[in-house]
Amino acid sequence: MKIVGYLSEENDKLYDFDTLRRLIGSSKSKLHRDLHKLQHREFVKYKNQFLYTERTMFEIMEKVLFERLDKIQNEHYELSNDKKH
């Protein structure tokens, strides 16, 4: 997997949208929705593209991780209830 990263003058790591999408493993539309929901979304516009900070990337990754864990937990709960009946 090719990761496109940039360093700002302050040595902040920045990632483009496609790199975030590949790292997180979500669709473009879901990533757009998640980015717009973030309260502390940080980005820099450079050469007609948005570059997101490492903090933003980790916040999105955390959100997606909890969503996936909830989904797994709900599936497990449903399976255990089905076995009881």
Q: Domain map of the chain by residue range?
A: 5-84
**Cα torsion angle, 19, 38, 43, 56, sign:** negative
Asked whether residue 39 carries a pLDDT value surpassing 90, the answer given is no
Region 29-37: mean pLDDT is 91
Q: What is the dihedral of CA 16, 21, 64, 36, to 10 degrees?
A: 60
Task: Give the pLDDT score at 84.
Answer: 63
Integer Cα distance of 51 and 8 in angstroms: 10
Helix/strand/coil for 78: helix
Region 68-81: mean pLDDT is 84
Mean pLDDT in the chain? 86
CB 37 within 8 A of CB 77: no
